[in-house]
Amino acid sequence: MRNFIKVFLTLAVAAGFGEVKAQRSAYRSHVKDLYNAINANLKDPRSDLYFETTDPAKNEHPHSYLWPLCAYIQGANEMEVLEPQKKYMLPVEKAIAQYYRATPPYPAYQDYVVKEKTTTLYYDDNQWIAIAYMDAYKRKHDKKYLDTSKMIYRFMIGGLDTVGGGGIYWREKDNTTKNTCSNGPGVLVALQLYKATKNKEYLKTALDIYNWTKKHLQAPEGVYYDNVKLPSMELAKATYTYNTGTMLQSAVLLYNITKDKKHLIEAQRVAKAGKAHFFKNGRLPNEYWFNAVMLRGYVELYKVDKNKEWITFFEQDANAIWEKERDEHNLVGNKKEKRLIDQGAMIEIYATLEQVKNIK
């Protein structure tokens, strides 16, 4: 009887391990399917640019805004983590280069293709690119990523002033709001540059922006509001997953750098609040890329405290997307037309969930 129970338990454990291993293999497969689907359905072979959606009638311009490429470049970085010998970032980098505008005093990437239209420069669009490039720099030590990120840092500092006590505006030449989406990633850019260079100016900037954002834009429960209007300082209290995510990740990185436990305690508070606030009825809100950015913060915390709770609800949502929100072309999304930003976001999510298994 004992031998029977022992064999039964051994088989049960093996079956469970096999299921987990199969799921992780599935994530890698999902990444490749999405990558192939982007190239087949959302890339313009004539220009090396990308389309906003699969439906030309729904696209405002011939090519994508920069924002979807902010998602895709991070997804491409995560693909290279899984396959270091590949160059998944390079085609996306070539596309992003076509958004560069060398306008003094702060050159940066505008929100649409320069040769087709002169448009707006957003601080957050540029910051997302710098975050991905600094992740790539950490892996590859290629100076082009560091130099571009320093350029973006100079641009974002141009949007930092003392109006409202500090903080970065949302976009150039618009002094009406300061947003979590331009301050949270601003902290991350500065922290990544500090870690790469040990220049204390970057750490001071990060702490100043972090403290201002926490003071002015955090809800009492721990998640983050969207923006503060100027000069009234009236709060816009909409909550989005990515805003909580960048500030969560910032808190963990500050703990890693300073070893001040208050940052870890705060990160765990924000993480608990974020899950309670956003994860309802087994699903996250229906904006994949916002959730991808939030996942970055939870993974950063998981590396420190090894609490699997921070990962499992993302797995549940990601699995449901593949099962319920995917078309016959392996493109994901709830609408008939499929968006580039959603594909890039889910590449990042699946690739990140695949990587989590290697966190010791």
Range of the domain at 45: 2-356
**What are the pLDDT digits (tens) for 315-348?**
999 999 999 999 999 999 999 999 999 999 999 9
Residues 112-149 have pLDDT tens digits of 999 999 999 999 999 999 999 999 999 999 999 999 99
**Total domain count for the chain?**
1
pLDDT of amino acid 360:
83
| Phi and psi at residue 243, to the nearest 5° | -65, -45
Using 50, 70 and 90 to split pLDDT, how confident is the model at 24? low
The Cα 101–Cα 115 span in angstroms is 10
Tens-digit pLDDT profile for residues 168-217: 999 999 999 999 999 999 999 999 999 999 999 999 999 999 999 999 99
- E-only strand ranges, 60-219: 100-101, 108-109, 169-171, 174-179
Question: pLDDT band at residue 25, thresholds of 50, 70 and 90?
Answer: confident
- Dump pLDDT digits (tens) for 240-287: 999 999 999 999 999 999 999 999 999 999 999 999 999 999 999 999
2-15 pLDDT, tens per residue? Answer: 454 444 444 444 44
Average pLDDT over residues 9-27: 55
More confident residue, 11 or 98: 98
CA–CA separation, 66 vs 113, rounded Å? Answer: 8
In 3-state terms the chain splits into helix, strand, coil percentages (rounded to 5) of: 65, 10, 25
The reported pTM is 0.93
Structure tokens at 227: 């923006």
CB-based contacts of 37, cutoff 8 Å, min separation 6: 329, 330, 331, 343
**CATH code of residue 8:** 1.50.10.20
Of the candidates 214, 179, 75, the one whose C-alpha atom is nearest the C-alpha of residue 131 is 75
Query: Could you tell me if 346 and 332 are in contact, meaning their C-beta atoms sit under 8 angstroms apart?
Result: yes
Residue type, 100: Y
| Nearest by Cα to 127 from 154, 98, 104 | 154
Instruction: Please state whether the peptide bond connecting residue 107 to the residue before it is cis, i.e. omega within 30 degrees of 0.
Output: no
Give the angle subtended at the CA of 87 by the CAs of 86 and 93, to the nearest 5°. 165
Give the span between the Cα atoms of 16 and 22, in whole angstroms.
10
Res. 19: pLDDT tops 70 = no
pLDDT of 7 reads 46
Quote the pLDDT of residue 32.
98
351 contact partners, CB below 8 Å, separation of at least 6: 27, 28, 31, 75, 78, 79, 81, 82
Which residues, including other chains, have CB under 8 Å from residue 242's CB and lie 6 or more apart? 181, 184, 289, 290, 291, 292, 293, 294
Q: What's residue 4's pLDDT?
A: 45
Residue 13: the pLDDT is 44
Radius of gyration of the chain (CA): 21
Ranking 4-13, 94-103, 222-231 by mean pLDDT, the lowest is 4-13
Contacts of 56 (CB under 8 A, 6+ apart): none
